[in-house]
Amino acid sequence: MPFTKNFIPLIKNGQNLPPLPSISDIIHLYKLSAIRQLAQNFILDMNLTRKIVKQAGNLKGSHVCEIGPGPGGITRAILENNINELAVIEKDKRFLPSLQILADSVTSETKMSIYHADILKFQMDSIFPQNVATSWSETDSNINIIGNLPFNISLPLLLRWLREMDARNDLFALGRVKMTLTFQKEIAERMIALPGSNQRSRLSVITQSLAHVDHKFTFLGKACVPQPQVDVGVVNIHPKEKPTYEMSFDIFHKVVTSIFNFRQKFCKRGVENLFPLPVKDEMTHEIFHKLPHIHPSTPIFKLENEHFNDIAHAYLEIVQRIPGLVDYDYRQPKSQQHLWAQNMF
Ligand code: SAM
């Protein structure tokens, strides 16, 4: 055998499968130097990959989708759980041969499929059969997404999934799919941040409005090869049956994002961002008049998730009266804001 380092046995049904080359052997054997543009930071320590996978809970019999398997450390830890089916999605074709070794080594009760694809463009709804779907009224789905995500796409990916969760599209068409994912530690902290916290951001409000979020643990960046500049948070995301807001994702997202442009300022300043200059004062006044329980001088980072729902509701009432307002974007230059408002009213 050409491998030089330790062989790692894959444990299946409590038994060891034929020994496989260690993750570091795989990296040496296939000359898998990390590509910075793909945010490749590999975890070689199987104790850590097992700890990450354990956060997903009991995986026995479940259908798992792994994002960015790379050399396969997390993949192996997933396969040790007597799962029914694993689909892995990897953009870098250099990893395909070593992933195929894993697919060939699993027992006949487990199916493993390898997709060579960019997760940002990949539709996940067809990877598992329709008969594994569960209703959204059921708390637990039989499907999990797991991944040590590439940091450079973790935020756009999370926002895309939150949007899909809202629409019950893509993999979320199959039920309340649970996710166990890694993020830069600061992003993990923002996702769980409560009102008043220094980390409170638009991400906290949007994520918590759609899902139960739990920051399970943090590990040091030096556990990865090569070492990223940041530490890593492992987060569980479990979709709520219904979002806590009562309008479209786009409206809620717009309201939360516009307000959080000034997170340290009073919320009146954030709400003003929703309206163009000539009507800013009048419409901001209308919003707070409708919501006497929200004081205009409350700092934005102290607003509760429900407050954002209330503000978005009041905003929606105005937008229904003046539909063109919904296209207003606070980043427009002031000169254009006057012109824009003239055309609208
Ligand atoms: N799971 C491995 C581990 O924990 O050691 C690798 C994790 S590494 C942080 C991220 C992985 O995602 C790499 O294998 C990288 O090639 C892959 N990747 C990066 N961008 C991707 C994309 N857009 N779609 C799918 N995979 C991607």
Beta partners for 147?
181
Q: How far apart are CA 8 and CA 20, in angstroms?
A: 5
Of 257, 64, 74, whose CA–CA distance to 155 is shortest?
A: 257
Q: 7: pLDDT confidence band, cut at 50, 70 and 90?
A: very low
Per-residue pLDDT of 25-46, as tens digits, reads 777 766 777 777 777 899 999 9
Q: How far apart are CA 121 and CA 344, in angstroms?
A: 36
Q: 240 CA distance to ligand 1 centroid (A)?
A: 27
Joined together, the tokens standing for residue 168 give 């019950």
In the chain, where are the structural domains located? 23-239, 249-344
DSSP per-residue letters across 117-159? S-TTT---TTSS-GGG---TTSS--SEEEEE---HHHHHHHHH
Residue 255: the pLDDT is 97
Joined together, the tokens standing for residue 269 give 């300043």
pTM: 0.90
Q: Which atom of ligand 1 is nearest to the CA of 147?
A: 1
Q: Which residues line ligand 1 (CB under 6 A)?
A: 38-43, 68-70, 73-74, 89-92, 118-120, 148, 150, 153
Q: 18 CA distance to ligand 1 centroid (A)?
A: 26
CB hemisphere CA count around 296 (13 angstroms): 12
Q: 345: pLDDT confidence band, cut at 50, 70 and 90?
A: low
Of 101, 97, 41, 42, whose CA–CA distance to 73 is shortest?
A: 42
Please tell me the CATH code under which domain 249-344 is placed.
1.10.8.100
4, pLDDT greater than 50: no
More confident residue, 28 or 16: 28
Close Cβ partners of 136 (under 8 Å, ≥ 6 residues apart) = 168, 175, 176, 239, 241
C-alpha 219 chain-centroid distance: 18
Enumerate helices (H) and strands (E) in the chain, giving the number of each.
12, 13
Helix axes 151-167, 249-259, angle to 10 degrees: 130
Q: How far apart are CA 285 and CA 279, in angstroms?
A: 10
Q: How far apart are CA 120 and CA 231, in angstroms?
A: 24
Helix axes 305-321, 249-259, angle to 10 degrees: 110
**Residue located nearest, by CA, to atom 8 of ligand 1:** 40
Asked if 38 and 110 count as a contact pair (C-beta separation under 8 A), the reply is: no
Q: 68 CA distance to ligand 1 centroid (A)?
A: 3
pLDDT (mean) for 301-310: 97
Q: 64 CA distance to ligand 1 centroid (A)?
A: 16
Q: 10: pLDDT confidence band, cut at 50, 70 and 90?
A: very low
Q: How far apart are CA 7 and CA 10, in angstroms?
A: 10
State the amino acid at position 173 in one-letter form.
Answer: A
Length of the chain: 345
Instruction: Say whether 277 sits in a helix, a strand or coil.
Output: helix
Per-residue pLDDT of 235-244, as tens digits, reads 999 999 999 9
Q: In the CATH hierarchy, which fold is given to the domain comprising 23-239?
A: Rossmann fold (3.40.50)
Q: How far apart are CA 297 and CA 316, in angstroms?
A: 22
Per-residue pLDDT of 175-204, as tens digits, reads 999 999 999 999 999 999 999 999 999 999
Q: Which atom of ligand 1 is nearest to the CA of 66?
A: 1
